[in-house]
Amino acid sequence: PLSKQDTTVLERNMAFLIEEMMEVSLLIPYLTADGILSLLSGKYITDKKSRSDRIMALLDILSTNERGLDAFISALQKTDQCHISQRLQGTLFITTPCKDYIYTHCYGSEYPKTPAKIRQRQNINLQV
């Protein structure tokens, strides 16, 4: 089974995962190839009616394998969900490709490269 520490990481991020994750079916091929899921467990997950139920089923299965969290993080990275993988790893640093990906999909443009553009994007008025 997953270590207590790794289980806590999944439990504390459950709401975040439900809000932020793309469809679980994107992860299944990677987790199956990594030996975390079987074809049967993958089908069990995809047979769930709601997206949140599919995520919960995935988390339940991940918690039964000592490599569950590491494989999950790897699958998230391979499916361009690096902001989620980095949150699970407890890191605050987001790489430029991930920033560009997030901004492109959320705002329709690449991540602003200069502080002025960042402040403008965030509508922050900084007083000196």
pTM of the model: 0.70
Nearest by Cα to 6 from 55, 69, 94: 69
pLDDT in tens, 52-63: 999 999 999 999
125/17 Cα distance (integer angstroms): 31
Q: Flag whether pLDDT at 103 surpasses 70.
A: no
Q: Domain coordinates of the chain in residue numbers? A: 4-91, 94-128
Tokens of 38: 């079987």
Fold exhibited by the domain 4-91: Death Domain, Fas (1.10.533)
Q: Flag whether pLDDT at 29 surpasses 50.
A: yes
Question: Residue 101 contacts by C-beta under 8 Å, 6 or more apart in sequence?
Answer: 80, 82
> 90's torsion region: left (phi>0), alpha (psi -120 to 50) or beta?
left
